[in-house]
Structure 1
């Protein structure tokens, strides 16, 4: 089951930059495990959207809590909702190089 996490980041750009490599490595690992569907920051830098593929909401919450940003108290807020994929364009899902 998919869960979308709408995450608001703390307003600490220096700390976000400091923990970003660990945060991205963590997400890359989840992606390789098949437990992350998509992830990326909002264009204004205020937070990000993560869609997890997990058995239940508590597992999605645990993945969010284990994120290096969360462990560094850089998640100001999280809204977690079950999500259904209905339409997707694979060409638009390739991240820019």
Structure 2
């Protein structure tokens, strides 16, 4: 398993994103329960978010993102996807 950091920037049309938010958060809760998501949350200014995933590799992460309701709503742009190797819990 590998840990990946995903940074996203929300796109200008917040109406679509806010409409998709309940389904997006349910999607994240399912990933957390399955052990695929370590943590996630928006920036304080709500301009984007940071997620940390624990997955087999980047291909699995991209499959997860393809199923995210925010992806279907075209609500964000990926700013960063990077494998991360934390040294502390």
When the two structures are aligned, how many residues end up with a matched partner?
88
TM-score, normalising length: structure 2: 0.90
How far apart are the structure 2 equivalents of 1:65 and 1:40?
Answer: 18
Structure 2: unaligned runs, 5 residues or longer: none
Structure 1: unaligned runs, 5 residues or longer: 89-97
Counterpart in 2 of 1:82?
83
Q: Which has the higher contact order (CA 8 A, sep 6+)?
A: 2
1:67/1:78 CA distance change after superposition, 3 Å = farther
Task: Say yes or no: does 1:32 pair with 2:33.
Answer: yes
Counterpart in 2 of 1:63?
64
Moved over 4 A (4+): none
Which has the larger share of strand?
2
Task: Say yes or no: does 1:48 pair with 2:49.
Answer: yes
